[in-house]
Structure 1
Amino acid sequence: MKRGWMGLMVAASLLHGGPGAAQAVSASTRAANAAMAASLPADDGQDADFAARGFLGTWPSPTIPRDDGKGIAWDFAALDRLKGPAPASVNPSLWRHSLLLAKHGLFRVSDRVWQVRGFDLSVMTIIRGDTGYILVDPLLSAETARAALQLVRQKLGDRPVTGLIYTHSHSDHFGGAAGVITEAEAKAIPILAPEGFLEHAVAENVIAGNAMGRRAVFQFGATLPFAPDGRVTAGIGPAASGGSIGLIPPNESVKATGDTRRIDGVQFEFQLTPDTEAPAEMNFYLPQFRILHLAENANPTMHNILTPRGALVRDSKAWADQLTVALRLWGGKSDILVTSHGWPRFGQPVVADFIASHRDAYKYLHDQSVRLMNMGLTKDEIAEAIDLPPALKARWFNRGYYGTMNHNSKAVYQRYLGWYSGNPADLNPYPPEALGKHYVEALGGPDRVIALAKVAVAQGDYRWAATLLDHLVFSGASTPEAKALLADSYRQMAYAAEGSLWRNMYLTAATELENGPRAVSTGATGIARLIPTTMLLDLMAVRLVPERAPATPFTVALVLPDVAERHFITIRNGVMIHESDVADTADVTVTMPRATFLRAIAGAGASGPPPQIEGRADLLPVFLGLFEAPPTDFPIVTP
C-alpha cells in the first residue's frame, strides 16, 4: 500500500474475518459460564419482544457487496448462524445479547416511524414526512445505507429523502450518507447535526489515528471470524460494516437545547448533549408521535467512558446529567424510545424507567469511582472493588456488553487524576521488554515461569497465567510452548467474558500470538477531503523523524491557491512549526491545488499539472524525506 507523506489510515472492523479453528473450552471456563448462567436476572422476554416487534422483512441476499468489487460490505449469513442455546465458548449473558442484536431487517416502530437494524454497527431510523423520508443516522458505509433505503422503498413506497439528521459526530452515524443521497440532493434538503459536529467528525482519530486504528482491530475483532469461538457481536451492534465511508457535511446546526425545526411537516424538539457519548451529540423528541430519540446517550448496554481503541475520556457525570434533562423534558410524555443502537422501548412507564435506571448506572459509576479515589484507592483497586448495586445490575441494559464497570471506573480515575497512581514506584517503571527480563530472572528462568503458568491454568487462574506468560514473551526468552499457553489463557478468558470488546481483544491477542499481526484497511477516503489543511499539517508534524532533520533550519511555504490558503512551515530542532496566512519569505515555495496536495499525502500518485516550485528546490526532497508513515500492524502482544 502506498502511504504518501502520512499514510492516513484508520482501521475499520469488517463483518467477516479469517477462518477459525475450534478451540477447546476448559473445565474452569465451563464452570465460570455455568455460574454466570445461574446468576443472571430473570428474563421476562421484554427485550426479545421489543427487538422483534414490527418486523416487515429483510435484505433478500446473504451479503451486500462492496462498491469497488473487493469483497463484501455486510454478511447477513454470518448473523444468521448465531442461534440456539449458548455454546460453551460464549458467556451466556453475552450470547443472549448477541442474538438480540443479530436480528436484521426493517421494523415498524409506529405509523410513521421505522428502523433498519442489523445492517451495520448502528441503526438507521426512518421518519415519513408529508412528502418523503427523513433519515436519522445513515449507518457507517454507503453500501449498507443504500441497501437499507432500498429495503425501505420496497416495503413502504418509493419516496424521496427530504431530510437527513446526524445525531452525533461518530462515523457509524454519518459515514453512509452518500448511499442515500447525492451531493446534488444534499443542496436541496436540510441536513441537521449538533453544533460542532463537523469539527469533531473530521478531527477524531487524525493525530493518533494510526494507533487508534490498530487498537480498533482488537476492540472490534476485525480479523476474527463470526463463530462460537470467534466474534459474536460488537456489543452495541453486530459489527462495523466494511464498505465505503464518507461524509456529506450538514447545512444546519442545532445550537442549543430547546431549538426546534419543522422538516417535511414533522416537528422536532432538540436537546444538545455535548461531551457525553460524543463531543458533539443531540437528542430529539417528535411531539406529533410521542417518540423520543436518545441518540447514543442510551443503549442496550453500558457504554464506554473511554473506548479501548483510545479517545479522549468522556464525562460520565455530564452523561448522567443530560439523561436527567431528557427525563425531565420528555420522560413523562414519550410513548416510544428509539436510539442509535439496539431496539426500541414501548410504553411510557417503560421509557421513563429505562432512562432513569440507565442514568443511575452512569451516575453510580462516576460517584463511587470518585468516592473510592478520594479514599486513596488507585484505578486498579477501584476497578477490582466497584460493581453496580443489584437493582441496577439486574437491568439487562446496564450490563457490560460494550463498556464495563472495570474499564469505565479506570476512565473516571484517569479523567480526574491521570495515569499516575500516586505511588512513586509507578513514576518510572521499566518498559515491558526490560520488565519481562527482570521478572523471568527473578522467578528462576523461562522453564520456571512456564511451570508456574501451568499451575495457574490448572487452577483456572488465567489472569495470573497471562501475567506470567506475558512477561516471558516480552523478555525475549519466549518459546512456542509459552506463546501457545498464553494464547490459550487469553481464549479461556474470552470465552467467559461478558463484555464483547474484552472477548474480541482476548481472541485477537491469541490469534496474533499464533499468526502475527494483521493490518485491516478502511474505505474512509470520503472524509479526508474535509480535513482542514492545518489539521493535516499537524498530522505531518507528529510523523517527522527528528534524526532526519538537518542541523540548519529551513522554511517551506505551501500555497493552495484554489482555496486561498498559504501555510508557512519552519523546520528547526527536529520540530515542524506551521502558521497560516503568514507572508514571510520562505526558502522554498510550493504551489499546487489542494486536491493535488491531498493526493500527495495519501500516496495516490501525481495527477494534473505538476506543483510550481520557487526558491531552493533542493530543499523540497529534504523536506519530503523528513516524514515516515507508521506501520499499521505494529505488535501489541509481542515485543
Structure 2
Amino acid sequence: MASDPLFERLWNGSAPMEEWTAAVSDGAITAVADGIITVHTTYFCGSVTAIRTMEGLVLIDTAKPDTAQRTLEVIRSWDDSPIHTVIFTHGHIDHTSGIAVIDAEADARGVPRPRIVAHRNVRRRMERYVASHGFNSIVQGQQFNKPGYVYPIGQRQPDEVYDETLSLTIGGERLELFHGRGETDDASFVWLPERRVLASGDFVIWVFPNAGNPRKVQRYAAEWAVALRHMEQLRPAILIPGHGPVVFGEARALQMLRDGAEALEHLVRETLALMNRGATLDAVLHAVKVPAEYLAKPYLLAKYDDPEFLVRNIYHFYAGWFDGDPAHLKPARTAEIATELARLAGGAEKLAERAAILSEQGASRLAVQLAELAGAAAPDAPRIQAIRASVLQKAIDGESSLMGKAFLSVYQRQAQERAG
C-alpha cells in the first residue's frame, strides 16, 4: 500500500489525532486487503471492519449510536451484500450499538438479521448495564462532558458465545477469535491467518492503554499485556486497532504491540514490587511511573487515561479496596473532617485562601485537597466556592488526560454554581 502522508505524520508525532479525526469525519474507507475494508468516522467511535465472503459480509464491530447509520452507508457504497455475521470485540456501546441500524436494514430488505458472535461475558456486561443504568448514565455524562446523558441499553445480545478461542469459517474466509482481559473482561481480538490481518479491538487504541478509568469496574493491566504479547507472536502484517488508523507492515505492527505490552508490564512489575514490601497505595502512587520513552511514543500518549490511574487499578486488583491507611478503614465523614480542619485553621476561608496560594505555586494536588475541604466545610459560602472553582480550573489546565480533565470539570462546575 502506498504511504499515507497523514499516517506518517501521526506515526512520527508531528500530527495530532484530532487532525486524523477531522479527515475521516464524513466516513472514510481504508482498503485493508482484497475484500476487506475498515471504516472510520471519528477517533471516539470504534473502527468497523467489513470482510467480503461468499456467504455475505462479516463485520467486526458496528459503531456507536450517532455514527452507526453513516458507517453502514459507507459500507454499502463498497458492497451491498447481506450482512451474515457480526463480531463484537467487546460490549461497549461504541462497538455494539450499530447492530440496531443493521437489524433495521435486514428487516426492511426481508432478509435474516445477522448472527452476532462474541465472548460469553458480553451478555453479562449488557445485563450489568441494565442493573446500574442510572449510575452508568451519570458516569458517562461526566467522562464525556454531557450532563443529562442517558446511557443506551437494550442492544441485541450475542447469538453465539465462546470462552477462550473460537474458529469460524464463513464463505471461505477463516477467522480465529481469542479472548483476553484488558479494558474489559469480555474482549476478543480477531485473527485472519491466511491474510495475516489482526483486528485488535480495544487492546490497541492509539493512546496509552485505558486500564485505569477512575469510575469504571476493574480493568486488567497485566492480562492486557499478555494479550498484546499473544498478538505479537502472531506476527501480523496488518493491524486494525479498535480506535485510530490501520497500521500496515509487520515491523510497525509488532513495534506497536510490543511497546504497549512493555509499558503495561513495567507498571505491573513496579507496583507489585512495592506492594510485596508492604507499601501503601499512597506510596505506590507516587513512586511508580512509566518510563518517559514510552510516553513519548505517538501511539502511547497519555491523552485519554492516565498511567497513575492504572497504578491505582493494579493496586486494587491485588489488594482490594483498603489502601493501607488506617484512617481510611472506617473513615469519618468528609464534611466532619473538613469542619474540624477549618476550625483548627481559623475558618474555612483560611483553608481556601491557602489553597489559592498553593495553586499559584504549582502545588496543584495539595491545592485541590485543601480547596475541597474548604468547600465541604462551607458549601454555601460563595467566595470559598469561587476560590474552589479557580483552584480546580488550574488543575484542569495542568491535566493531560481527557479523563482527568473531565472528572475535575464536574466539580469545578459544581463550585461555580454554588459561587453564583
Q: TM-score, structure 2 length as denominator? A: 0.88
Structure 2 counterpart of 1:342: 244
Partner residue in 1 for 2:367: 465
Could you say which residue in structure 2 is the equivalent of 1:177?
A: 99
Match of 1:117 among 40, 54, 71: 40
State which of 237, 250, 261 in structure 2 corresponds to 1:359: 261
The match for 1:266 is: 173
Match in the other structure for 1:127: 51
Distance 1:51 1:144 in 2: 26
Q: Give the C-alpha shift of residue 246 in structure 1.
A: 4.0
Which of residues 118, 139, 144 is equivalent to 2:67? Answer: 144
Secondary structure of residue in 2 paired with 1:398: coil
| Letter in structure 2 aligned against 1:483 | Q
Deviation at 1:487, TM superposition (A): 1.4
Rounded to whole Å, the distance in 2 between the matches of 1:270 and 1:355 is: 18
- Give the superposed CA RMSD: 3.0
Which residue does 2:377 correspond to in 1? 475
**1:396 aligned counterpart, secondary structure:** coil
Aligned twin of 2:270: 368
Residues 101/245 of structure 1: CA separation in 2 closer, same or farther (3 Å cut): farther
Shift, 1:303, TM fit: 2.6
Task: Name the structure 2 match of 1:49.
Answer: 7
Q: Does the 8 Å contact 2:281/2:324 carry over to 1? A: no
Task: Show the 5 A alignment for 1:19-34.
Answer: none
Cα distance change, pair 487–50 in 1 and its aligned pair in 2 (3 A):
same
Distance 1:486 1:477, change over 3 A: closer
Q: 1:341 to 1:164 in 2, by over 3 A?
A: same
Contact 2:51 2:58 in 1 (8 A): yes
Mark the CA change 1:514 to 1:477 in structure 2 (over 3 Å): closer, same or farther.
Answer: closer
Task: Tell me the SS of whatever aligns to 2:201.
Answer: coil
Q: Alpha-carbon deviation of 1:151? A: 2.4
One of 172, 184, 202 as aligned partner of 1:296: 202
Match of 1:486 in 2: 388
Deviation (angstroms), 1:322: 2.0
Map of 1:317 onto structure 2: 222
Q: Is the 8 A contact 2:212 2:307 kept in 1?
A: no
Alpha-carbon distance in 1 for matches of 2:358, 2:309: 24
Contact 1:114 1:127 in 2 (8 A): yes
Q: Deviation at 1:361?
A: 1.3
Gaps of 5+ in 2: none
Q: What TM-score does the superposition give when structure 1 sets the normalisation length? A: 0.59
How far off its partner does 1:471 sit?
0.6
1:249 aligns with 2:157: yes
Which 10-residue stretch deviates more, 157-166 or 96-105?
A: 96-105
What is the deviation of 1:444?
1.1
Distance 1:393-1:402 versus aligned 2 partners, 3 A rule? same
Q: Match of 1:15?
A: none
Cα distance change on mapping 1:498 and 1:96 into 2, 3 Å: farther
Out of 380, 383, 387, the residue aligned to residue 285 of structure 2 is 383
Superimposed CA distance per residue, residues 278-317 of structure 1 (whole angstroms, 9 cap, x where no aligned partner):
2222111113432101111122112333422231x12222
Distance apart, 1:187 and its partner CA:
4.3
Aligned 8 A contact 1:379 1:421 in 2: yes
Partner Cα separation in structure 1 for residue 30 and residue 313 of structure 2: 38
Aligned equivalents of 1:295, 1:347: Cα separation in 2: 18
Distance 1:407 1:449 in 2: 27
Q: Which amino acid aligns with 2:322?
A: Y
Asked whether the equivalents of residues 87 and 116 of structure 2 are also in contact (C-alpha less than 8 Å), the reply is yes
- CA distance 1:422–1:454, shift in 2 (3 Å): closer
- In the other structure, the counterpart of 2:28 is 106
Higher helix share: 2
Pair 1:507-2:409 in alignment: yes
The amino acid across from 2:16 in the alignment is R
| Aligned residues of 2:209 and 2:260 also touching (Cα < 8 A) | no
Query: Any conservation in 2 of the 1:446–1:477 contact (CA below 8 Å)?
Result: no
Q: Structure 1, unaligned stretches of length 5 or more?
A: 1-44, 54-92, 225-240, 517-636
1: CA distance, partners of 2:375 / 2:292:
40
Residue type of the partner of 2:190? F
Give secondary structure in 2 for the equivalent of 1:307: coil
- How far the C-alpha of 1:164 sits from its partner, in A, is 1.1
Q: Give the Cα separation in 1 of the matches to 2:6 and 2:283.
A: 37
User: Could you tell me whether the CA contact under 8 Å between 2:222 and 2:264 is conserved in 1?
Assistant: yes
- Structure 2 match to 1:153: 76
SS of equivalent residue, structure 2 residue 124: helix
Cα distance in 2, alignment partners of residues 187 and 298 from structure 1: 32
Measure the CA separation in 2 of the matches of 1:373 and 1:186.
57
Q: Report SS of the residue matched to 2:58.
A: strand
RCO higher in 1 or 2 (8 Å CA, sep ≥ 6)? 1
> Are the aligned partners of 2:358 and 2:366 in contact in 1 as well (CA < 8 Å)?
yes
Contact kept? 1:50, 1:344, Cα under 8 Å: no
Determine the C-alpha separation between the residues in 2 that align with 1:327 and 1:505. 34
Whether contact under 8 Å (1:127, 1:135) holds in the other structure is: yes
1:133-168 superposed Cα distances (whole Å, 9 cap, x missing partner)? 322111221x521221112323x2433322211111
Is the CA contact 1:177–1:246 (under 8 Å) kept in the aligned structure 2?
Answer: no
1:374 partner amino acid: N
User: Letter of the aligned partner of 1:282 in structure 2?
Assistant: S
Select 1:455's aligned residue among 352, 357, 378: 357
Given that 1:271 and 1:326 are in contact with CA atoms closer than 8 Å, whether structure 2 keeps it comes out as no
Contact 2:349 2:384 in 1 (8 A): no
Greater Cα radius of gyration, structure 1 or 2: 1
Find the residue that maps to 2:28 and give its secondary structure. Answer: strand
Contact 1:219–1:308 under 8 Å retained in 2: no
Where do 1:180-219 residues align within 5 Å? 180-182=102-104, 184=107, 187=112, 189-203=114-128, 205-219=129-143
Number of aligned residue pairs: 409
Whole-angstrom distance in 2 between the partners of 1:222 and 1:283: 30
**Other structure's SS at 2:67 match:** helix
Identity %: 21
Q: Measure the CA separation in 2 of the matches of 1:161 and 1:265.
A: 15
Deviation at 1:109, TM superposition (A): 3.3
Could you list the per-position Cα deviations for residues 227-284 of structure 1 after superposition, in whole angstroms to 9, with x for gaps in the alignment?
xxxxxxxxxxxxxx98965422222223432x321223322122122x3322222111
